[in-house]
Amino acid sequence: MTDATITTAPELIRAAPELPDLLPPIKLRGGILGFARRYPAIAIGGALVLAMVLIAVFAPYLGTVDPTALAPTRRTREPSAAFWFGTDMLGRDIYSRVLYGARVSLTVGFSVALLASLAGLIIGLVSGFVRWSDGIIMRVMDGMMSIPPILLAIALMALTRGSVGNVIIAITIADIPRVSRLVRSVVLSLREQPYVDAAIAAGTRTPMIILRHILPNTVAPMTVQATYVCASAMIVEAILSFIGAGTPPTIPSWGNIMAEGRALWQVKPYIVFFPAVFLSVTVLAVNLLGDGLRDALDPRLAKRL
């Protein structure tokens, strides 16, 4: 890490291995069952995430109705055969809302993971290769990391109008410094490797070095990091929506459903219960996937956490 600046190092448990070797192949020996036995976390987490993705994609075909259609005449109905998860204060079908809500959460989670990884990759590469920029970039990242991520996202949301796109941007910005620092540390440690040195000495151009030596080595730690970013982004989205700074209330997102149901949690707990379970399970699945990937990709850390 940098010299005497403040210890805003990436949270240790989210930190990537300091010097990953080339991506160790995950062998599919013994078929799917064998894989599942060796990497139970990946198998369980992956299966759950896949299930959520399928639910989100096929929400219209899973016995749902229009999730925004009001029907005040049949409001706050308990879960039943007609309304599997009951109805909310305005008579909207919670089952449909929760299923459609998966779209928002997953969109936010995946987009933030992707965008933060991309932005972090670029910033990390620049600061690792363009020596003079390193100091400036890392000072800025230190500063950004000193702002608690949820507050940074809140501040950004206060400046813009509530929309899914803006939520994604706000959470992404808050997550960029962690990814950049990770990429930079990979770049810096790889630069010291003899074979990279040799490549530089042989006159290989920087883009080629990045493509051949750097990128493949960042894939593993970044994948692990991306899953954690994805999980935390989904929670942050729910929190932002819950306090009224996130997805506009007209869009059914898990955070919004819970925000609306919270007034009634004592009387009609199921309104909060179902989205809470879906959100928790999804985040749990992504976290499991991340833990599993980390263990599989970096055996050295596997024992530790």
Partner 1 sequence: MLSYTIRRILATIPVMVVVALFVFSLLYIAPGDPAAVIAGDQATPADVERIRQSLGLDRPFLIRFGEWLWQILHGDLGTSIFTNLPVAAMIAQRVEPTLSLMAVTLVIAICLAVPMGVVAAWQADTLIDRAIMAFAVLGFSVPVFVVGYLLAYVFALELDWLPVQGYTQISEGLWPWFENLILPALALGCVYIALIARITRASMLEVLQQDFIRTARAKGVGQTRILFVHALKNAAVPIVTVIGIGVALLIGGAVVTETVFAIPGIGRLTVDAILRRDYPVIQGVVLMFSFLYVLVNLLIDLLYTVLDPRIRY
Partner 2 sequence: MRNGAALVWDMLYGVDGKLQPRRQMVESEEVSSDGLVWTFRLRGGLKFHDGEPVLAKDVVASLARWQARDNMGLMTKEIEQELVAVDDRTFRWVLKKPYPKLLVALGKVGTPSCFIMPARIAATDPFKPIGDYVGSGPMRFVRNEWVPGAKAVFERFADYAPRQEPNSWLSGGKHMLLERIEWIVMPDPATASAALQNGEVDWWETPIADIVPVLKKNRNVMVDIADPLGNIGSFRMNHLHPPFNDVRARRAILTAMNQEDYMRAVVGDNALWKPLPGFFTPGTPLYSEDGGEILKGPRRLDAAKRLLADSGYSGQPVTCVVAQDLQITKAQGEVTADLLRKLGVNVDFAAVDWGTNAARRAQKSPPGQGGWQMFHTWHAGAVCIDPSSYTAIRANGDKAWFGWPTSAKVESEITAWYDARNLDEEKAAIARLNKAALEDVVYAPTGFFLAYQAWRKNIDGIVKGPLPFFWGVSKAA
Q: Which of 37, 205, 262, 300 binds partner 1 (CB under 8 A)?
A: 262
279 binds partner 1 (CB under 8 A): yes
Which residue lies nearer to partner 2 by CB, 127 or 166? 166
When CB distances are held under 5 to 8 angstroms depending on the partner's kind, the choice from partner 2, partner 1, none that residue 152 binds is partner 1
263 binds partner 2 (CB under 8 A): yes
**Phi, psi angles (nearest 5°) of residue 234:** -65, -40
Compute the C-alpha angle 278/222/283, nearest 5°: 10
Q: Which of 59, 102, 121, 154 binds partner 1 (CB under 8 A)?
A: 154
Count of C-beta atoms within a 10 Å radius of residue 84: 16
Which residue lies nearer to partner 2 by CB, 262 or 300? 262
When CB distances are held under 5 to 8 angstroms depending on the partner's kind, the choice from partner 2, partner 1, none that residue 79 binds is none
Considering only residues 212 to 251 of the shown chain, the ones binding partner 1 according to CB under 8 A are: 231, 235-236, 238-239, 242-245
Return the closest-CA partner of residue 213 out of 291, 288, 125.
125
Considering only residues 22 to 41 of the shown chain, the ones binding partner 1 according to CB under 8 A are: none
Q: Which of 244, 277, 299, 302 binds partner 2 (CB under 8 A)?
A: 244
When CB distances are held under 5 to 8 angstroms depending on the partner's kind, the choice from partner 2, partner 1, none that residue 122 binds is none
DSSP letters spanning the chain: --SSS---PPPGGGPPPSS--S------TTHHHHHHHH-HHHHHHHHHHHHHHHHHHTGGGSS---TT---GGGTTPPS-SSSTT-B-TT--BHHHHHHHHHHHHHHHHHHHHHHHHHHHHHHHHHHHH-HHHHHHHHHHHHHHHTS-HHHHHHHHHHHS---HHHHHHHHHHHHHHHHHHHHHHHHHHHHTSHHHHHHHHTT--HHHHIIIIIHHHHHHHHHHHHHHHHHHHHHHHHHHHHTTSSS-TTS--HHHHHHHHGGGTTT-HHHHHHHHHHHHHHHHHHHHHHHHHHHHH-HHHHTT-
Q: Are 182 and 220 in contact (CB under 8 A)?
A: no
Q: Which of 139, 212, 262, 300 binds partner 2 (CB under 8 A)?
A: 262
Site string for partner 2, 40-69 (x = CB under 8 A): ----------------------------xx
Q: Are 282 and 274 in contact (CB under 8 A)?
A: no
When CB distances are held under 5 to 8 angstroms depending on the partner's kind, the choice from partner 2, partner 1, none that residue 250 binds is partner 2
73 binds partner 2 (CB under 8 A): yes
Smallest separation (angstroms) from partner 1 to the CB of 17: 13
Considering only residues 122 to 151 of the shown chain, the ones binding partner 2 according to CB under 8 A are: none
Which residue lies nearer to partner 1 by CB, 217 or 247? 247
Which residue lies nearer to partner 1 by CB, 79 or 162? 162
- Residues in contact with partner 2 by CB under 8 A are 68-70, 72-73, 75-76, 89-91, 162, 244, 248-250, 262-268
**Contact footprint for partner 1 (CB under 8 A):** 4-9, 11-13, 139-140, 142-144, 146-152, 154-160, 231, 235-236, 238-239, 242-245, 258, 262, 265-266, 269, 272, 276, 279-281, 283-284, 287-288, 291, 303-305
